[in-house]
Amino acid sequence: MSTLQTLDRGLSVLELVSQRPAGVSVAELAAALDVHRAICYRIVVTLEAHALVSRAEDGRIRLGAGTAVLAARFEPQLRHTAQPVLHALARETRATAYVSVAQGEDCIVVLVAEPESSLIRVGYRVGSRHRLTVGAAGIAILALRPRRHGEPDAVDAARRDGYCVTAGQLERGAVGVASGIEVPSGMGAGTGIEACVGVVALDGLDVAAAATAVVRAAREISALVSA
């Protein structure tokens, strides 16, 4: 499939900048893209004109306010797309299914589907939040990011396996299974959205079956948002 080279480079710049909270120089971007610094500078100026990046006083490039606007528009689309998938996941696993997104250093629930056939359910409300470093959802989101020195072993395991399982970290007796949603290349850089889908239930959850279903749901949502 052919791509428009300049657009592809611009999206690559956004992706690189999004991974460097402290900012990145034009020279570093040019080296990463293997292009002349003048070409990279023109790409940065264009992105800056659309508020997708900004330059600090030290000249380093950071994400601009325009990415927050895109994120605000993309998140409702994600919720709308994921809703039927989430209900199907809840029915299949007979567990509470959810979609969570990263917000700063926290993981926040944005969508929930309850199983209709289960008498005992784990209360998981829209708006619930916890640190990214605890719970299956947070760890699954961290596993979407590039490997970092000193990260918890659970993050690397989730990156390897494609899902994370935790027990009793957020609520005694509750078991969670989550998988990161791969937002398509370019779209991820533009929106800043980091998301996962998962299920949570009391002891007795068939973890192996739930993991298979959760990974499948993550892939389905990813395919739908990229369509």
Q: E-assigned strands of the chain?
A: 53-55, 61-63, 96-103, 106-113, 129-131, 164-167, 174-181, 195-202
Q: Can you name the CATH fold of 5-63? A: Arc Repressor Mutant, subunit A (1.10.10)
Question: Residue 208's pLDDT band (boundaries 50, 70, 90)?
Answer: very high
Which CB contacts under 8 angstroms, 24+ apart, belong to 112-119?
Answer: 112/86, 113/83, 113/86, 113/87, 113/89, 114/90, 115/90, 115/91, 116/90, 116/91, 117/91, 118/94, 118/201
The verdict on pTM exceeding 0.95 is no
For domain 67-226, the CATH superfamily is GAF domain (3.30.450.40)
Structure token pair of residue 112? 């929930």
Mean pLDDT, residues 23-51 taken together: 89
pLDDT single digits (tens) 78-133: 777 888 999 999 999 999 999 998 877 888 888 899 887 655 556 667 788 888 98
Whole-number pLDDT of residue 151: 85
Q: Where are the domains of the chain?
A: 5-63, 67-226
Whole-number pLDDT of residue 118: 58
Structure token pair of residue 131? 């640190």
Cross-strand partners of 99: 111, 197
